[in-house]
Structure 1
């Protein structure tokens, strides 16, 4: 929850309890509460922006005013009724006292319920934030709309369309760089609709997406603290998007890396182009288990590999002569890494085996789809596989209902996983690593669980804890293989409380 929002919320709840439960409330105190609440509301609206989960809290700003009016009315009523009940019987007095106690209990319960709703809604539907940067650099970001004129777009109905990609680059800046803070996603309403349509998640969960801010400053100057910075490509998962791992990208950049995020058009959650065009996810008529078949996924992955290779070509052009002068001469193209989540992780493995420019890579919970199999002698380059324990467990943690919902049977699913495990077999060969994270899910390797604790609780995961481990491991891996620093992972092979680590 945001700072002013939290202060405003707590102040109003305390005021509510005091006004309802307190006795002999001075008029100055009530008026003061009204003024303070109003000022906090104005600051919150101006600085942070108002949003629907705060509506119960906004209504509390009126409570002091209602209290003032109620007190005035009571005083007027007491004057006009003085002496009328002086001779009231003892039985009548007892009945009045009993009614008063019931009213107090009912009012107290109502206040507690309202306070719980007032605090609960903003907590369940937060404007989430990313962890404080751990490195010495601030972050700048710039986006590009790049078209590969050598390739036809296969997923549009218009003949002659070329493959067009949105690419976002994050880069180190001076820590005190000033400018406009980048939004988490461009056109949040489009993304909220896509989360609902593609991932079947309620739009309500994404109602505050437009107020989420990253640390990055739009089009800030590149830091000149180092002559060149290693470049790392990021490839999202199927149904993902280029900044779905902002929690990870920002920490890498703060440590002195340039990170290039690719939005794989028509395979991403959604693509939003600068001229307002929107490219929705295209399933090609395949759903559930049919969409996961190796024959389909291996073929689709060829497009993603070509996307990554094209983006590297464009990055090389920027390094040689950026029209804006930002990246010219500042990209270390001798030290290029790549990482990806899910299908983007599979793409990373294919790039390691297919493109000599990529020096080291990480696959986060991705089945090894793609044209090439890892040979028996291993990838041949530094490689780290990261997996969720529930993913590696396969059908053993899947109910019959879950398997049926995918459109298959348990025997078919088990046969499918035999191929999955066979492709994993040579992952660690040649001194490479495989980390399995405990109590995690497939989407623990993304920002998704930050959007609402409802998602986190329903999956039984610790989002922030998993992200901390992922970030520590990511930085350690790339610092060693792209910057020549010592490798901590070598001393951590084995079983641990939150993960296990294997080395070939």
Structure 2
């Protein structure tokens, strides 16, 4: 929440409590105080627009003003008014659990961050998710890169703002009305830093159904550490993504109810995602494909692929089929198809949320163990204590601090998204350093420097 949001929210509650709980304040001072708060609220409305989260607060101001003006003398009326105001205070507090504009953590690396989005069409692959035989597969990649000086222009957080479907990854889209004001800590006009001629590249695939935006905190942090990160959206599986022709593609919900059919479905989707990632690798090899800012400045001999949840499975699948990939990392993802029985030739990292917090399935545990047992170049596995499956994403940040605390009591994740993402970025940066042309880093020491992270090297 912005400073003006906090001032209005707190002032409305204080005014209500003072008016309802004391008789010492006169009518004129009380109305003057409420008028001041109402004026600030009007300024906020004009400057930022309407937020549904403030409806209880606006009603609280109106009812408190009525109480001051009417001064209900009858005992029953006074009690009813106080009960009504109390209910509005509770409603306002509940609404503030979902801040109008979430705050993302600032990247921790030495570089400011720039960003640019590319919307490509693969002419060789039809789009199986639509009925139009002329449709071809779109692949969207948002580059996050170490920048020179920022221009101050900022960048858009989520595709489709202003025309979102009713739900985005099960989140009602009306909650996202103010998400155009989220500070991504990235500049969409900034030039690439010139500390080096070519920068190592990391492809990132998000979780099942999640738009790439929901991993902004993590990918921007990696970019600030000296990687060009290409966060990939997978259309018709992602909740919302803008295609190359400007259309908005939403998720096609056709997941089978039968377990065996579901396994086959996820295997197919895993292959589609891996093909999307390989397509991005192909584009990187085309001169000028990334525009004037980035083209010619990426080290296409030093590429890694990582992902969260289903994106982690897609990253491993892409690595299994493509020798251009120098390293791969799976963050909390279940593997499908024959992938657990493949042998990865690249260094591999498995990062897991705490098993007791997330309740990993037997499929997750057994299949990842099988893949780790067949590594051709060794790797690492770490379990991050007090982190749940969503701690790697921005989603917990859509709640206020008290809201995150309450949710953590129900589904875990008490470590919090910011410490979880910071530890993840530290481990990823250490793991990727040597395969992507940097100095060798002590990955285990980097991991255990953080509280309650268990694991170590595998297959060495």
Calculate the TM-score normalised by the size of structure 1. 0.77
Which moves more between the two structures, 177-186 or 356-365?
A: 177-186
Task: State the 1:288 CA deviation.
Answer: 5.7
Question: Using the alignment, how far apart are the partners of 1:228 and 1:194 within structure 2?
Answer: 36
Which runs of structure 2 are paired with 1:109-128 in the superposition (5 Å)? 109-124=83-98, 126-128=100-102
> Measured at CA, do residues 486 and 437 of structure 1 come closer, stay the same or move farther in structure 2, by a change above 3 Å?
same
- Structure 1 residues 493 and 339: CA distance shift in structure 2, 3 A: closer
Q: Is 1:340 the equivalent of 2:307?
A: yes
Aligned residue for 2:188? 218
Name which of 453, 456, 459 aligns with 2:411: 459
2:346 aligns with 381
Whether contact under 8 Å (1:192, 1:207) holds in the other structure is no
Aligned residue for 1:84? none
Which stretch shows the higher mean deviation, 248-257 or 479-488? 479-488
1:309 partnered with 2:278: yes
Match of 2:40 in 1: 40
CA drift at 1:6: 0.9
C-alpha spacing 1:119/1:351, structure 2 compared with 1 (3 Å): same
Secondary structure, in 3 states, of the residue corresponding to 2:344? coil
Structure 1 residues not aligned, in runs of 5+? 75-98, 396-413
**1:238 alignment counterpart:** 208
Q: Tell which deviates more after alignment, 225-234 or 6-15.
A: 225-234
User: Displacement of 1:63 after TM fit?
Assistant: 5.7
Question: In structure 1, what is the equivalent of residue 235 of structure 2?
Answer: 265
Matching residue within 187, 193, 197 for 2:167: 193
Task: Say which SS state the counterpart of residue 97 (structure 2) adopts.
Answer: helix
Q: Which runs of 5+ in 2 are unaligned?
A: none
Shift of 1:163: 1.8
Offset from partner CA, 1:207-226 (integer Å, 9 cap, x none) = 65555442223343333354
Instruction: Give yes or no for contact 2:207–2:308 (8 Å, CA) kept in 1.
Output: yes
* 1:80-106 CA distance string (max 9 Å, x none): xxxxxxxxxxxxxxxxxxx86x87766
Q: How does 1:324-339 map to 2 (within 5 A)?
A: 324-339=291-306
1:177 is aligned to: 151
CA distance, structure 1, for counterparts of residue 319 and residue 378 of structure 2: 15
Q: Please name the residue that 2:15 is paired with.
A: 15
Using the TM superposition, name which of 233-242 and 279-288 deviates more. 279-288
Cα pair 2:59 2:88 within 8 Å, conserved: no
Match of 2:269 among 300, 320, 324: 300
Alignment-derived partner of residue 255 in structure 1? 225
Count of residue pairs the alignment pairs up: 450
The answer on 1:443 being equivalent to 2:390 is yes
Contact preservation (8 Å) 2:60, 2:88:
no
C-alpha change, 1:460 and 1:315, in structure 2 (3 Å) is: same
Larger radius of gyration: 1
Between Structure 1 and Structure 2, the one with more helix by share is 1
User: Does 1:390 pair with 2:355?
Assistant: yes
Q: Do the aligned residues in 2 keep the contact of 1:493 with 1:503 (CA within 8 Å)?
A: no
Say if 1:3 and 1:171 are closer, same or farther in 2 by CA, change over 3 A.
same
Q: Distance in 1 between matches of 2:453 and 2:101?
A: 30
- Summarize the Cα distance change of 1:161–1:126 in structure 2 as closer, same or farther, 3 Å threshold: closer
Q: Which position in structure 1 is the counterpart of 2:379?
A: 432
| Alignment root-mean-square deviation, CA | 3.5
- Cα distance in 1 between the residues matched to 2:249 and 2:28: 58
Indicate whether 1:49 and 2:49 are aligned.
yes
Secondary structure, in 3 states, of the residue corresponding to 2:108?
coil
Q: 1:421 to 1:481 in 2, by over 3 A?
A: closer
CA displacement at 1:134 relative to structure 2? 1.3
Cα deviations across residues 298-332 of structure 1 (Å, max 9, x unaligned)?
A: 34333222211111222233xx3258521133222
